[in-house]
Structure 1
Amino acid sequence: MQQTKKTYTVQEATKKLEHYCAYQERCHKEVVQKLTSMHMIPEAIDVIVVHLLQHNFLNEERFAKTFVSGKFKIKAWGRGRLTFELRQKDISKVNINQALAVISDEEYIGVFNDLAEKRANSIKEPNKYKKKKKFVDYFLYRGWESHLVYDKANELIK
């Protein structure tokens, strides 16, 4: 039996994407992927993306700021990881820098220090070199600057 794929008119797809963007901040790349998965032709995709931009459903700067504050507060990602993830979503350098500027240096270092204390206490490893490696790997993976990580590792793990 032939499976028929659902097709959408431009109006239906526009409505669907308005809801998609209203529910959660989206970047251009996510919207285009969604429309592509709905089997929309490139011309229709362009029309819908322009509509979403004009009606403020889609705003890359707003997306970047929301993304950065969420991932920083909830997942405690460092600037390196945040930058990497935004680049993966094709966000412009200007928007990435504006979004990262939302995090104050005091807040950034404060979160890092709190997390470092907790992490150092939670690693149950008798060998101090292995413990340091686990500590460092944890923070580098989350995109924290290496000079911060190594200084903290040497300070906390003796």
Structure 2
Amino acid sequence: MNKINSIHSLEQLQSKLEHYCAYQERCHQEVIQKLKILGASATEIDKVVVHLLENNFLNEERFACLFTISKFHQKKWGKIRIKTELKARNISEYLIAKSLKEITDIDYTNTFEELSQKIWDTIIEKNDLKKRKKFCDTLLRKGWESHCVYDKVIELEKTN
């Protein structure tokens, strides 16, 4: 990460980070990283983060919930991948658990069924073992539970 050489006043940093947070939900880690890139001191980082929290530009609960819902609906990630990605952003276990409750069991099951069928149908492989491996690898990489993936591959092999 290259630091920008220009020195910013506290007000300039606050303004820049307000825009940064208003454009897209951010977690504390992303905001702190951005401030470090801008060359802010530890004291300035603390003051800007407090300002953003007080003015509701920064809210980790809101971030975790939106991240969870968007990754589930847009990228079709399973709960394991979502949890891993949130942990990597230093989100608390409590907020991770709370955000995962935003996904209903019915939505989760329906999404898994649709996604697994789509993946199975798009894998063009004559060797059954290779097809099974590609199918399982894809779903496991997306963070779906292994027991669901392995049960589904057995079910799909029987129907096809």
TM-score range, shorter chain: over 0.9
Give the structure 2 partner of residue 156 of structure 1: 156
Q: Which amino acid is 1:18 matched to?
A: E
Asked if the contact 1:79/1:100 (under 8 Å) is kept, the reply is yes
SS at match of 1:157: helix
Q: How does 1:1-158 map to 2 (within 5 A)?
A: 5-158=5-158
1:157 CA drift (Å) = 2.1
1:116 CA drift (Å) = 0.6
TM-score normalised over the length of structure 1: 0.96
Write out per-residue CA displacement over residues 63-88 of structure 1, whole angstroms, 9 at most, x where no aligned residue: 00000111100000000000000000
Question: Percentage identity across aligned positions?
Answer: 48
What is the CA–CA distance in structure 2 between the aligned matches of 1:122 and 1:40, rounded to whole Å? 49
Structure 1: unaligned runs, 5 residues or longer: none
What is the CA–CA distance in structure 2 between the aligned matches of 1:122 and 1:104, rounded to whole Å? 27
1:7 CA drift (Å) = 1.2
What is the CA–CA distance in structure 2 between the aligned matches of 1:49 and 1:68, rounded to whole Å? 23
What is the CA–CA distance in structure 2 between the aligned matches of 1:25 and 1:59, rounded to whole Å? 8
Asked if the contact 1:120/1:157 (under 8 Å) is kept, the reply is no
What is the CA–CA distance in structure 2 between the aligned matches of 1:12 and 1:91, rounded to whole Å? 27
Write out per-residue CA displacement over residues 108-158 of structure 1, whole angstroms, 9 at most, x where no aligned residue: 010000011111111011111111000000000010000000000111024
Residue correspondences, number:
155
